[in-house]
């Protein structure tokens, strides 16, 4: 799922990661591997956000890891089957 800049900021306020800018040269390759998403890199690897149930009636997203670091220097990622994390972020608060 592609996130608006407002939703990216909300996500980064709840999840310690860095967003990969849409104009980054690796995004077309990532899109071909994983579909069109907003990508986040953290200490564990490459993540996307997928829609999730929100307990409060707003909109939420589940952080899903799609690739893990394959070296200690965090310079190479190895794709794998999507792994849901325990992180759920509020994308839109309830009205």
Tens digits of residue pLDDT in 31-89:
999 999 999 999 999 999 999 987 777 899 999 999 999 999 999 999 999 999 999 99
Rounded CA Rg of the chain:
13
Burial of 76 (0-12, 13-18, 19+ CB in 10 A): exposed
* Residue range 21-32, pLDDT digits in tens: 999 999 999 999
Write out the residue range of the structural domain in which residue 86 sits. 5-92
Q: Domain count of the chain? A: 1
CA angle centred on 20, ends 18 and 22, rounded to 5°: 145
Q: Which helix (H) or strand (E) holds 89?
A: strand 77-92
Six token digits for residue 9: 């900021």
pTM equals 0.93
Q: What is the pLDDT of residue 94?
A: 76
């Amino acid at each position: 799922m592609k996130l608006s800049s407002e939703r990216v900021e909300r996500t980064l306020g709840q999840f310690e990661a860095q967003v990969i800018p849409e104009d980054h040269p690796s995004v077309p390759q990532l899109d071909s591997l994983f579909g069109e998403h907003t990508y986040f890199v953290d200490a564990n690897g490459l993540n996307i956000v997928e829609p999730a149930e929100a307990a409060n009636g707003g909109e939420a997203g589940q952080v899903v890891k799609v690739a893990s670091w394959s070296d200690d220097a965090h310079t190479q990622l190895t794709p794998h089957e999507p792994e849901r994390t325990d992180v759920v972020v509020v994308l839109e608060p309830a009205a």
